[in-house]
A and B are shown apart, each in its own frame.
Chain A
Amino acid sequence: MPLSGLRTVAKAQNGVGAFILQCKRMDFHYCDFGGSSRGMKDFIQTALPRFASKYPQIEFTVSPRPGQHPAIVGHFINGKQREVSVRKLDNRQILEKVKELRDASGEKLVRSNKPVTSTNESVRGIWSPFHGSRVKI
Protein backbone atom coordinates (compact mmCIF):
# COMPACT_ATOMS: atom_id res chain seq x y z
CA MET A 1 0.00 0.00 0.00
CA PRO A 2 2.16 2.89 -1.18
CA LEU A 3 -0.51 5.55 -0.69
CA SER A 4 -3.76 5.88 1.19
CA GLY A 5 -6.38 8.59 1.50
CA LEU A 6 -7.34 10.27 4.76
CA ARG A 7 -11.03 10.62 5.50
CA THR A 8 -12.27 14.11 6.29
CA VAL A 9 -15.36 16.20 5.64
CA ALA A 10 -15.29 19.27 3.39
CA LYS A 11 -15.86 22.49 5.30
CA ALA A 12 -18.83 24.73 4.61
CA GLN A 13 -18.25 28.23 3.29
CA ASN A 14 -21.58 29.98 3.63
CA GLY A 15 -21.96 32.53 0.86
CA VAL A 16 -19.29 31.14 -1.46
CA GLY A 17 -21.79 29.05 -3.40
CA ALA A 18 -25.18 29.34 -1.81
CA PHE A 19 -25.99 31.69 1.03
CA ILE A 20 -28.18 30.42 3.83
CA LEU A 21 -29.62 32.92 6.26
CA GLN A 22 -28.67 31.73 9.73
CA CYS A 23 -31.86 32.86 11.44
CA LYS A 24 -34.46 30.19 10.81
CA ARG A 25 -37.33 31.08 13.09
CA MET A 26 -38.66 34.08 15.00
CA ASP A 27 -41.25 33.90 17.74
CA PHE A 28 -43.19 37.04 18.67
CA HIS A 29 -44.77 37.12 22.10
CA TYR A 30 -47.10 39.86 23.28
CA CYS A 31 -49.68 40.53 25.96
CA ASP A 32 -53.18 41.77 25.15
CA PHE A 33 -53.58 43.82 28.32
CA GLY A 34 -50.17 45.10 29.32
CA GLY A 35 -49.16 48.60 28.29
CA SER A 36 -45.60 47.50 27.53
CA SER A 37 -46.95 45.49 24.58
CA ARG A 38 -48.59 48.43 22.85
CA GLY A 39 -45.73 48.93 20.39
CA MET A 40 -45.44 45.19 19.81
CA LYS A 41 -49.13 44.86 18.94
CA ASP A 42 -48.81 47.76 16.56
CA PHE A 43 -45.74 46.14 14.98
CA ILE A 44 -47.49 42.78 14.56
CA GLN A 45 -50.44 44.43 12.84
CA THR A 46 -48.58 46.80 10.56
CA ALA A 47 -44.92 46.02 9.90
CA LEU A 48 -44.65 42.28 10.49
CA PRO A 49 -46.65 41.07 7.43
CA ARG A 50 -44.43 43.09 5.10
CA PHE A 51 -41.25 41.94 6.81
CA ALA A 52 -42.37 38.31 6.78
CA SER A 53 -43.20 38.34 3.08
CA LYS A 54 -39.77 39.82 2.40
CA TYR A 55 -38.02 36.95 4.23
CA PRO A 56 -39.77 33.68 3.32
CA GLN A 57 -36.78 31.67 4.57
CA ILE A 58 -37.62 32.60 8.17
CA GLU A 59 -40.52 30.96 9.94
CA PHE A 60 -42.58 33.48 11.93
CA THR A 61 -44.84 32.56 14.81
CA VAL A 62 -46.97 34.97 16.82
CA SER A 63 -48.36 33.90 20.16
CA PRO A 64 -49.81 35.73 23.18
CA ARG A 65 -48.09 35.45 26.50
CA PRO A 66 -50.51 37.08 28.95
CA GLY A 67 -49.09 38.97 31.86
CA GLN A 68 -45.56 39.03 30.46
CA HIS A 69 -43.53 41.70 28.75
CA PRO A 70 -43.32 41.35 24.95
CA ALA A 71 -40.33 39.49 23.56
CA ILE A 72 -38.88 38.23 20.32
CA VAL A 73 -37.06 34.88 20.24
CA GLY A 74 -34.76 34.13 17.32
CA HIS A 75 -33.83 30.52 16.54
CA PHE A 76 -30.66 29.91 14.57
CA ILE A 77 -29.28 27.17 12.36
CA ASN A 78 -26.56 26.28 14.84
CA GLY A 79 -29.23 25.37 17.39
CA LYS A 80 -28.84 28.45 19.58
CA GLN A 81 -31.65 30.86 20.37
CA ARG A 82 -31.60 34.48 21.41
CA GLU A 83 -34.38 36.29 23.23
CA VAL A 84 -34.77 40.06 22.96
CA SER A 85 -37.13 41.94 25.23
CA VAL A 86 -39.02 44.68 23.39
CA ARG A 87 -40.76 46.10 26.43
CA LYS A 88 -42.14 49.60 25.91
CA LEU A 89 -40.49 49.90 22.49
CA ASP A 90 -42.31 51.45 19.60
CA ASN A 91 -42.86 50.14 16.08
CA ARG A 92 -39.62 51.43 14.60
CA GLN A 93 -37.40 50.33 17.48
CA ILE A 94 -38.88 46.83 17.32
CA LEU A 95 -38.13 46.65 13.60
CA GLU A 96 -34.48 47.41 14.36
CA LYS A 97 -34.38 44.61 16.93
CA VAL A 98 -35.93 42.23 14.40
CA LYS A 99 -33.35 43.21 11.80
CA GLU A 100 -30.59 42.58 14.33
CA LEU A 101 -31.90 39.07 14.91
CA ARG A 102 -32.21 38.47 11.18
CA ASP A 103 -28.59 39.41 10.60
CA ALA A 104 -27.20 37.53 13.59
CA SER A 105 -25.38 34.25 13.06
CA GLY A 106 -26.46 32.75 16.37
CA GLU A 107 -22.90 32.56 17.65
CA LYS A 108 -21.96 34.18 20.93
CA LEU A 109 -20.73 37.73 20.63
CA VAL A 110 -16.95 37.50 20.79
CA ARG A 111 -14.46 40.31 20.40
CA SER A 112 -12.18 39.49 17.51
CA ASN A 113 -8.73 41.03 17.86
CA LYS A 114 -7.27 39.61 14.66
CA PRO A 115 -7.58 41.60 11.44
CA VAL A 116 -8.34 38.52 9.32
CA THR A 117 -9.81 35.16 10.25
CA SER A 118 -9.55 32.65 7.45
CA THR A 119 -9.51 28.93 6.78
CA ASN A 120 -7.17 29.45 3.84
CA GLU A 121 -3.47 29.30 4.50
CA SER A 122 -1.62 32.56 4.44
CA VAL A 123 -0.40 33.82 1.09
CA ARG A 124 2.98 34.82 2.52
CA GLY A 125 3.54 31.46 4.15
CA ILE A 126 5.19 30.72 7.45
CA TRP A 127 8.17 32.92 8.30
CA SER A 128 11.38 31.43 7.10
CA PRO A 129 14.88 32.30 8.28
CA PHE A 130 16.30 31.89 4.78
CA HIS A 131 14.27 34.54 2.98
CA GLY A 132 14.02 38.31 3.24
CA SER A 133 16.79 40.69 4.18
CA ARG A 134 19.70 39.23 6.11
CA VAL A 135 20.46 40.68 9.49
CA LYS A 136 24.07 41.83 9.65
CA ILE A 137 25.72 41.45 13.01
Chain B
Amino acid sequence: MKRLRIARCGTQLLAPSAPRRPSCPCTAAFQRNSTPHNHRRSLTVQATAQLPDGETRHDIAASEELSEEPLKRAHSQARRHPPEALPSPHPRSAKQSAKLAALRSRLSLPSRFPLETLARTLVHPSADPDPAFNNASLSSLGSSLLSYYTTEHLFCNYPRLPIDIVFAAQYAYIGPKALATIASEWGIEAAAHPGGEVDPGLLQFLRLRSGEQLPPALRRRTPYKWNLTKTHRILVSDEFGSTSAEPNPEDLAKKPVPLEEAAQSFVRALVGSLHLHLGSPLVKRFFRDHFLSRQLDLASLFDFRHPTRDLSRLCAREGFEAPVARLISESGRLSRHPVFVVGVYSGKDKLGEGAGSSLDEARVRAAAAALKAWYLYKPLDVTVPSSTEGGVGAEAWKPNMIDCGEVIV
Protein backbone atom coordinates (compact mmCIF):
# COMPACT_ATOMS: atom_id res chain seq x y z
CA MET B 1 0.00 0.00 0.00
CA LYS B 2 1.11 3.51 -0.61
CA ARG B 3 2.14 5.40 2.46
CA LEU B 4 0.12 8.40 3.55
CA ARG B 5 1.60 11.81 2.88
CA ILE B 6 -1.31 13.90 4.04
CA ALA B 7 0.49 15.96 6.67
CA ARG B 8 3.28 16.96 4.36
CA CYS B 9 1.08 17.77 1.41
CA GLY B 10 -1.54 19.46 3.55
CA THR B 11 0.69 21.95 5.31
CA GLN B 12 2.24 22.91 2.05
CA LEU B 13 -1.13 23.59 0.49
CA LEU B 14 -2.75 25.22 3.50
CA ALA B 15 -0.26 28.10 3.52
CA PRO B 16 -1.99 31.48 3.06
CA SER B 17 -2.42 32.13 -0.59
CA ALA B 18 0.11 34.41 -2.15
CA PRO B 19 -0.84 36.92 -4.84
CA ARG B 20 -0.51 34.47 -7.66
CA ARG B 21 -1.40 35.79 -11.07
CA PRO B 22 0.47 39.00 -11.74
CA SER B 23 -2.23 40.49 -13.92
CA CYS B 24 -5.14 39.99 -11.52
CA PRO B 25 -6.59 43.37 -10.49
CA CYS B 26 -8.34 42.15 -7.34
CA THR B 27 -5.68 40.11 -5.61
CA ALA B 28 -3.17 42.93 -5.61
CA ALA B 29 -5.68 45.23 -3.95
CA PHE B 30 -6.93 42.73 -1.37
CA GLN B 31 -3.77 40.88 -0.49
CA ARG B 32 -1.31 43.69 -0.11
CA ASN B 33 -0.86 42.92 3.58
CA SER B 34 -0.16 39.22 3.15
CA THR B 35 3.42 38.08 3.01
CA PRO B 36 4.52 36.93 -0.40
CA HIS B 37 5.82 33.42 -0.83
CA ASN B 38 9.06 33.94 -2.55
CA HIS B 39 9.95 30.28 -2.59
CA ARG B 40 6.73 29.53 -4.38
CA ARG B 41 7.16 32.31 -6.87
CA SER B 42 10.56 30.97 -7.75
CA LEU B 43 8.76 27.92 -9.12
CA THR B 44 7.13 29.87 -11.91
CA VAL B 45 8.96 28.76 -14.95
CA GLN B 46 6.39 28.97 -17.65
CA ALA B 47 5.12 31.60 -19.98
CA THR B 48 7.67 34.22 -19.09
CA ALA B 49 8.51 34.54 -22.74
CA GLN B 50 5.02 35.76 -23.49
CA LEU B 51 5.39 38.85 -21.32
CA PRO B 52 6.70 41.90 -23.17
CA ASP B 53 9.93 43.84 -22.55
CA GLY B 54 11.60 40.91 -20.84
CA GLU B 55 9.41 41.61 -17.82
CA THR B 56 8.95 38.46 -15.76
CA ARG B 57 6.12 37.48 -13.44
CA HIS B 58 8.40 38.28 -10.49
CA ASP B 59 8.91 41.85 -11.55
CA ILE B 60 5.25 42.50 -12.11
CA ALA B 61 4.18 41.01 -8.81
CA ALA B 62 6.87 42.91 -6.91
CA SER B 63 5.99 46.20 -8.55
CA GLU B 64 2.30 45.57 -7.84
CA GLU B 65 2.90 45.31 -4.14
CA LEU B 66 4.85 48.57 -4.11
CA SER B 67 2.72 50.68 -6.38
CA GLU B 68 0.22 53.21 -5.09
CA GLU B 69 -2.72 52.39 -7.33
CA PRO B 70 -2.45 48.68 -8.03
CA LEU B 71 -5.93 48.38 -9.45
CA LYS B 72 -5.37 50.84 -12.23
CA ARG B 73 -2.05 49.30 -13.09
CA ALA B 74 -3.46 45.82 -13.05
CA HIS B 75 -6.23 46.86 -15.41
CA SER B 76 -3.70 48.17 -17.84
CA GLN B 77 -1.77 44.91 -17.49
CA ALA B 78 -4.91 42.90 -18.11
CA ARG B 79 -5.27 44.83 -21.32
CA ARG B 80 -1.69 44.10 -22.23
CA HIS B 81 -1.95 40.38 -21.35
CA PRO B 82 -5.13 39.07 -22.92
CA PRO B 83 -6.57 35.81 -21.52
CA GLU B 84 -5.42 34.00 -24.65
CA ALA B 85 -1.83 34.47 -23.47
CA LEU B 86 -2.43 32.46 -20.29
CA PRO B 87 -2.11 28.67 -20.40
CA SER B 88 -5.19 28.08 -18.20
CA PRO B 89 -8.16 30.27 -17.20
CA HIS B 90 -7.52 33.09 -14.79
CA PRO B 91 -8.82 32.41 -11.22
CA ARG B 92 -10.83 35.63 -11.53
CA SER B 93 -12.98 34.12 -14.26
CA ALA B 94 -14.15 31.27 -12.00
CA LYS B 95 -16.79 33.49 -10.40
CA GLN B 96 -18.40 34.18 -13.78
CA SER B 97 -18.57 30.57 -14.91
CA ALA B 98 -22.07 29.12 -14.84
CA LYS B 99 -20.69 25.62 -15.39
CA LEU B 100 -18.58 25.75 -12.25
CA ALA B 101 -21.45 26.97 -10.07
CA ALA B 102 -23.69 24.27 -11.52
CA LEU B 103 -21.04 21.61 -10.88
CA ARG B 104 -20.64 22.73 -7.27
CA SER B 105 -24.32 22.46 -6.52
CA ARG B 106 -24.67 19.26 -8.54
CA LEU B 107 -22.16 17.64 -6.17
CA SER B 108 -24.02 19.21 -3.20
CA LEU B 109 -20.90 21.05 -2.04
CA PRO B 110 -21.44 23.94 0.38
CA SER B 111 -21.01 27.47 -0.92
CA ARG B 112 -17.98 28.04 1.30
CA PHE B 113 -16.03 25.77 -1.05
CA PRO B 114 -14.54 28.39 -3.38
CA LEU B 115 -15.15 28.22 -7.11
CA GLU B 116 -11.54 29.24 -7.75
CA THR B 117 -10.33 26.01 -6.13
CA LEU B 118 -12.90 24.00 -8.07
CA ALA B 119 -11.57 25.63 -11.23
CA ARG B 120 -8.02 24.73 -10.25
CA THR B 121 -8.89 21.07 -9.78
CA LEU B 122 -9.97 21.02 -13.43
CA VAL B 123 -6.53 22.05 -14.75
CA HIS B 124 -4.29 19.10 -15.58
CA PRO B 125 -0.49 19.59 -15.64
CA SER B 126 -0.53 18.95 -19.38
CA ALA B 127 -2.47 22.21 -19.81
CA ASP B 128 -0.61 24.37 -17.29
CA PRO B 129 2.78 23.16 -16.05
CA ASP B 130 2.88 25.78 -13.29
CA PRO B 131 2.41 23.88 -9.99
CA ALA B 132 0.68 26.90 -8.46
CA PHE B 133 -2.14 26.69 -11.00
CA ASN B 134 -2.54 23.03 -11.93
CA ASN B 135 -4.05 20.23 -9.88
CA ALA B 136 -0.93 18.05 -9.43
CA SER B 137 -0.42 18.72 -5.71
CA LEU B 138 -4.13 18.49 -4.88
CA SER B 139 -4.33 15.32 -6.91
CA SER B 140 -1.55 13.56 -5.02
CA LEU B 141 -3.20 14.52 -1.72
CA GLY B 142 -6.59 13.28 -2.94
CA SER B 143 -5.08 10.05 -4.19
CA SER B 144 -3.67 9.33 -0.74
CA LEU B 145 -7.00 10.12 0.90
CA LEU B 146 -8.98 7.96 -1.48
CA SER B 147 -6.69 4.99 -1.01
CA TYR B 148 -6.75 5.48 2.78
CA TYR B 149 -10.53 5.50 3.03
CA THR B 150 -10.99 2.59 0.63
CA THR B 151 -8.31 0.47 2.28
CA GLU B 152 -9.66 0.94 5.77
CA HIS B 153 -13.18 0.15 4.57
CA LEU B 154 -12.03 -3.09 2.95
CA PHE B 155 -9.65 -4.21 5.69
CA CYS B 156 -12.01 -3.53 8.58
CA ASN B 157 -15.17 -4.85 6.96
CA TYR B 158 -13.63 -7.89 5.30
CA PRO B 159 -10.73 -8.96 7.54
CA ARG B 160 -10.17 -12.25 5.72
CA LEU B 161 -10.04 -10.86 2.19
CA PRO B 162 -6.96 -12.11 0.27
CA ILE B 163 -4.59 -9.34 -0.79
CA ASP B 164 -5.15 -9.90 -4.52
CA ILE B 165 -8.86 -9.36 -4.04
CA VAL B 166 -8.12 -6.23 -2.00
CA PHE B 167 -6.08 -4.91 -4.91
CA ALA B 168 -8.87 -5.74 -7.36
CA ALA B 169 -11.51 -4.13 -5.13
CA GLN B 170 -9.39 -0.97 -4.77
CA TYR B 171 -9.11 -0.87 -8.54
CA ALA B 172 -12.87 -1.26 -8.90
CA TYR B 173 -13.63 1.55 -6.45
CA ILE B 174 -10.89 4.12 -7.11
CA GLY B 175 -8.89 2.82 -10.04
CA PRO B 176 -8.16 5.06 -13.03
CA LYS B 177 -11.10 3.71 -15.00
CA ALA B 178 -13.48 4.04 -12.06
CA LEU B 179 -12.42 7.65 -11.44
CA ALA B 180 -12.81 8.56 -15.10
CA THR B 181 -16.29 7.00 -15.07
CA ILE B 182 -17.18 8.95 -11.94
CA ALA B 183 -16.02 12.20 -13.55
CA SER B 184 -18.21 11.57 -16.58
CA GLU B 185 -21.15 10.72 -14.32
CA TRP B 186 -20.70 14.06 -12.61
CA GLY B 187 -21.20 15.74 -15.98
CA ILE B 188 -17.65 16.91 -16.57
CA GLU B 189 -17.02 18.13 -20.11
CA ALA B 190 -13.56 18.49 -21.57
CA ALA B 191 -12.32 21.58 -23.38
CA ALA B 192 -11.22 21.09 -26.96
CA HIS B 193 -7.93 22.81 -26.19
CA PRO B 194 -6.72 24.41 -22.94
CA GLY B 195 -6.23 28.14 -22.73
CA GLY B 196 -6.90 31.25 -20.71
CA GLU B 197 -10.00 32.18 -22.68
CA VAL B 198 -11.74 28.82 -22.16
CA ASP B 199 -14.63 28.45 -19.72
CA PRO B 200 -13.04 27.36 -16.39
CA GLY B 201 -15.85 24.83 -15.87
CA LEU B 202 -14.37 22.59 -18.56
CA LEU B 203 -11.64 20.02 -17.97
CA GLN B 204 -8.40 21.56 -19.21
CA PHE B 205 -5.84 19.20 -20.67
CA LEU B 206 -3.85 18.79 -23.82
CA ARG B 207 -5.67 16.24 -25.93
CA LEU B 208 -4.02 13.31 -27.57
CA ARG B 209 -4.61 13.55 -31.31
CA SER B 210 -5.77 10.46 -33.14
CA GLY B 211 -2.89 8.26 -34.15
CA GLU B 212 -0.54 10.03 -31.78
CA GLN B 213 1.48 7.99 -29.32
CA LEU B 214 1.19 8.27 -25.57
CA PRO B 215 3.80 10.46 -23.86
CA PRO B 216 6.89 8.53 -22.78
CA ALA B 217 6.02 8.92 -19.10
CA LEU B 218 2.80 6.96 -19.65
CA ARG B 219 4.10 4.61 -22.32
CA ARG B 220 7.20 3.06 -20.86
CA ARG B 221 6.92 2.23 -17.20
CA THR B 222 9.92 0.52 -15.71
CA PRO B 223 8.86 -2.08 -13.16
CA TYR B 224 10.03 -1.74 -9.58
CA LYS B 225 11.76 -5.08 -9.83
CA TRP B 226 11.82 -7.79 -12.46
CA ASN B 227 10.96 -10.53 -9.99
CA LEU B 228 8.15 -8.75 -8.18
CA THR B 229 6.99 -10.69 -5.12
CA LYS B 230 3.68 -10.27 -3.37
CA THR B 231 5.43 -8.83 -0.30
CA HIS B 232 7.02 -6.21 -2.52
CA ARG B 233 3.68 -5.36 -4.06
CA ILE B 234 2.18 -4.90 -0.60
CA LEU B 235 5.00 -2.82 0.82
CA VAL B 236 6.23 -0.70 -2.06
CA SER B 237 3.69 -0.53 -4.83
CA ASP B 238 0.52 1.56 -4.92
CA GLU B 239 -2.94 0.61 -3.73
CA PHE B 240 -3.67 -1.48 -6.84
CA GLY B 241 -0.55 -3.61 -6.51
CA SER B 242 0.86 -2.21 -9.74
CA THR B 243 4.16 -3.44 -11.01
CA SER B 244 5.44 0.06 -11.84
CA ALA B 245 5.33 3.51 -10.32
CA GLU B 246 2.81 6.15 -11.36
CA PRO B 247 4.06 8.83 -13.74
CA ASN B 248 5.39 11.98 -12.18
CA PRO B 249 3.06 14.94 -12.97
CA GLU B 250 6.07 17.03 -13.94
CA ASP B 251 6.80 14.58 -16.75
CA LEU B 252 3.32 15.16 -18.19
CA ALA B 253 3.75 18.94 -18.45
CA LYS B 254 2.75 20.15 -21.92
CA LYS B 255 2.49 16.55 -23.13
CA PRO B 256 -0.73 15.36 -24.74
CA VAL B 257 -2.52 12.89 -22.48
CA PRO B 258 -5.65 10.74 -22.80
CA LEU B 259 -8.94 11.93 -21.32
CA GLU B 260 -8.88 9.19 -18.67
CA GLU B 261 -5.65 10.52 -17.20
CA ALA B 262 -7.01 14.08 -16.92
CA ALA B 263 -10.39 12.98 -15.56
CA GLN B 264 -8.90 10.83 -12.81
CA SER B 265 -6.57 13.65 -11.78
CA PHE B 266 -9.61 15.93 -11.49
CA VAL B 267 -11.52 13.55 -9.20
CA ARG B 268 -8.48 13.04 -6.97
CA ALA B 269 -7.78 16.78 -6.83
CA LEU B 270 -11.38 17.47 -5.91
CA VAL B 271 -11.15 15.09 -2.95
CA GLY B 272 -7.87 16.69 -1.89
CA SER B 273 -9.22 20.22 -2.08
CA LEU B 274 -12.38 19.21 -0.19
CA HIS B 275 -10.14 17.91 2.58
CA LEU B 276 -8.27 21.20 2.74
CA HIS B 277 -11.29 23.49 2.58
CA LEU B 278 -14.05 21.59 4.35
CA GLY B 279 -12.25 19.17 6.62
CA SER B 280 -12.21 15.41 6.89
CA PRO B 281 -15.78 14.75 8.19
CA LEU B 282 -17.26 16.18 5.02
CA VAL B 283 -14.77 14.33 2.83
CA LYS B 284 -15.71 11.08 4.54
CA ARG B 285 -19.37 11.75 3.83
CA PHE B 286 -18.53 12.68 0.24
CA PHE B 287 -16.52 9.48 -0.12
CA ARG B 288 -19.34 7.36 1.30
CA ASP B 289 -21.94 8.99 -0.97
CA HIS B 290 -20.01 9.00 -4.23
CA PHE B 291 -17.56 6.12 -4.01
CA LEU B 292 -18.63 3.49 -1.49
CA SER B 293 -22.26 3.70 -2.61
CA ARG B 294 -21.29 2.19 -5.95
CA GLN B 295 -22.22 -1.42 -6.46
CA LEU B 296 -19.44 -3.97 -6.34
CA ASP B 297 -19.98 -7.68 -5.84
CA LEU B 298 -16.79 -8.78 -4.10
CA ALA B 299 -17.62 -12.46 -4.68
CA SER B 300 -17.35 -11.92 -8.43
CA LEU B 301 -13.71 -10.77 -8.13
CA PHE B 302 -12.36 -14.16 -7.06
CA ASP B 303 -10.53 -16.22 -9.64
CA PHE B 304 -9.46 -19.54 -8.12
CA ARG B 305 -6.93 -21.81 -9.75
CA HIS B 306 -7.36 -24.93 -7.58
CA PRO B 307 -10.20 -24.28 -5.13
CA THR B 308 -10.37 -27.87 -3.88
CA ARG B 309 -6.71 -27.83 -2.92
CA ASP B 310 -7.04 -24.41 -1.25
CA LEU B 311 -10.02 -25.62 0.73
CA SER B 312 -8.28 -28.71 2.03
CA ARG B 313 -5.26 -26.58 3.05
CA LEU B 314 -7.59 -24.14 4.79
CA CYS B 315 -9.34 -26.93 6.71
CA ALA B 316 -5.97 -28.35 7.75
CA ARG B 317 -4.82 -24.94 8.94
CA GLU B 318 -7.95 -24.19 10.91
CA GLY B 319 -8.12 -27.65 12.44
CA PHE B 320 -11.33 -28.69 10.72
CA GLU B 321 -11.85 -32.19 9.46
CA ALA B 322 -10.69 -32.72 5.89
CA PRO B 323 -13.36 -31.63 3.38
CA VAL B 324 -15.35 -34.34 1.63
CA ALA B 325 -17.53 -33.77 -1.43
CA ARG B 326 -20.87 -35.58 -1.38
CA LEU B 327 -23.56 -35.73 -4.00
CA ILE B 328 -26.72 -34.12 -2.69
CA SER B 329 -28.99 -34.64 -5.67
CA GLU B 330 -28.84 -35.18 -9.38
CA SER B 331 -31.06 -35.06 -12.39
CA GLY B 332 -30.76 -36.54 -15.85
CA ARG B 333 -27.38 -38.21 -15.51
CA LEU B 334 -27.74 -39.95 -18.88
CA SER B 335 -29.48 -37.03 -20.59
CA ARG B 336 -28.08 -34.09 -22.54
CA HIS B 337 -28.53 -31.72 -19.60
CA PRO B 338 -27.42 -33.43 -16.43
CA VAL B 339 -27.43 -31.41 -13.22
CA PHE B 340 -25.50 -32.47 -10.16
CA VAL B 341 -25.68 -30.71 -6.83
CA VAL B 342 -22.63 -31.39 -4.72
CA GLY B 343 -21.95 -30.27 -1.16
CA VAL B 344 -18.56 -30.01 0.49
CA TYR B 345 -18.67 -31.32 4.05
CA SER B 346 -16.21 -31.10 6.87
CA GLY B 347 -17.43 -33.78 9.27
CA LYS B 348 -21.14 -33.02 9.64
CA ASP B 349 -20.91 -29.34 8.66
CA LYS B 350 -21.74 -28.35 5.12
CA LEU B 351 -19.15 -25.76 4.03
CA GLY B 352 -20.50 -25.07 0.58
CA GLU B 353 -22.80 -26.23 -2.18
CA GLY B 354 -22.54 -26.00 -5.93
CA ALA B 355 -24.40 -27.17 -9.00
CA GLY B 356 -22.76 -28.22 -12.23
CA SER B 357 -23.26 -30.23 -15.36
CA SER B 358 -20.63 -32.78 -14.35
CA LEU B 359 -19.67 -34.22 -11.00
CA ASP B 360 -16.27 -32.56 -11.14
CA GLU B 361 -17.63 -29.15 -12.07
CA ALA B 362 -20.13 -29.28 -9.22
CA ARG B 363 -17.41 -30.32 -6.77
CA VAL B 364 -15.12 -27.45 -7.83
CA ARG B 365 -17.98 -24.96 -7.63
CA ALA B 366 -18.86 -26.20 -4.17
CA ALA B 367 -15.26 -25.78 -3.00
CA ALA B 368 -15.12 -22.25 -4.45
CA ALA B 369 -18.39 -21.39 -2.70
CA ALA B 370 -16.96 -22.67 0.59
CA LEU B 371 -13.78 -20.60 0.16
CA LYS B 372 -15.76 -17.47 -0.71
CA ALA B 373 -17.92 -17.98 2.36
CA TRP B 374 -14.75 -18.06 4.47
CA TYR B 375 -12.96 -15.13 2.83
CA LEU B 376 -15.98 -12.83 2.65
CA TYR B 377 -16.71 -13.03 6.36
CA LYS B 378 -17.94 -9.67 7.61
CA PRO B 379 -17.90 -8.80 11.33
CA LEU B 380 -20.99 -7.08 12.65
CA ASP B 381 -19.39 -4.37 14.75
CA VAL B 382 -16.70 -2.44 12.91
CA THR B 383 -14.83 0.74 13.81
CA VAL B 384 -12.78 2.19 10.98
CA PRO B 385 -9.69 4.15 12.13
CA SER B 386 -10.77 7.39 10.46
CA SER B 387 -14.05 7.44 12.41
CA THR B 388 -12.09 7.97 15.63
CA GLU B 389 -10.43 11.12 14.29
CA GLY B 390 -11.59 14.56 15.32
CA GLY B 391 -12.77 15.71 18.73
CA VAL B 392 -16.56 16.02 18.50
CA GLY B 393 -18.59 13.08 17.29
CA ALA B 394 -15.64 10.73 17.12
CA GLU B 395 -16.30 7.11 17.97
CA ALA B 396 -14.43 5.26 20.67
CA TRP B 397 -11.92 2.83 19.23
CA LYS B 398 -12.93 -0.79 19.43
CA PRO B 399 -10.33 -3.22 18.15
CA ASN B 400 -11.30 -4.92 14.94
CA MET B 401 -10.85 -8.53 14.09
CA ILE B 402 -7.53 -9.36 12.47
CA ASP B 403 -7.21 -12.58 10.55
CA CYS B 404 -4.02 -14.53 10.02
CA GLY B 405 -4.46 -14.25 6.26
CA GLU B 406 -5.16 -16.29 3.19
CA VAL B 407 -4.08 -19.87 2.67
CA ILE B 408 -0.53 -20.33 1.47
CA VAL B 409 -0.28 -23.22 -0.92
Contacts and interface: CB of A to CB of B under 8 A. Distances in A.
B165 A56 contact: no
Interface string B82-102: 000000000000000011011
Given A4-B303, A6-B300, A17 B293 contact: yes
A17 B108 CA distance: 12
A77 to B, nearest CB: 5
Contacts of A3: 162, 164-165, 302-305, 310, 406
Interface stretch (A7-15, A29-37, A65-73, A81-89): A7-15
Contact of A2 (B288, B290, B329, B407): B407
Contacts of B409: 2
Minimum-distance CB pairs A-B, first 6: A17-B293, A5-B168, A17-B289, A10-B294, A56-B105, A57-B106
Interface stretch (A18-26, A43-51, A93-101, A108-116): A18-26
Contacts of B98: 59-61
Contacts of B184: 77
A19 to B, nearest CB: 8
A72 to B, nearest CB: 17
Nearest to B166: A5
Interface string B272-316: 000000000000000011101111100011111110011000000
B295 A5 contact: no
5 contacts: A12-B295, A17-B293, A18-B293, A20-B107, A57-B106
Contact of A7 (B172, B292, B329): B172
Interface in B303-351: 303-306, 309-310, 328-329, 331, 339, 341
Interface residues of A, number: 32
**Of A3, A12, A18, A77, which is in contact with the most chain B CB atoms at under 10 Å from its CB?**
A3
Given A18-B108, A129-B331, A130-B331, A5 B301 contact: yes
A133 to B, nearest CB: 15
**Of A10, A11, A130, which is in contact with the most chain B CB atoms at under 10 Å from its CB?**
A10
Contacts of A8: 168, 171-172, 296, 300-301
B187 A6 contact: no
B175 interface: yes
A1 interface: yes
A24 B171 CA distance: 28
Interface in B159-196: 162, 164-169, 171-173, 175, 177-178, 181-182, 184-187
A59 B99 contact: yes
A27 to B, nearest CB: 12
Nearest to B355: A128
A16 B293 contact: yes
A4 B339 CA distance: 28
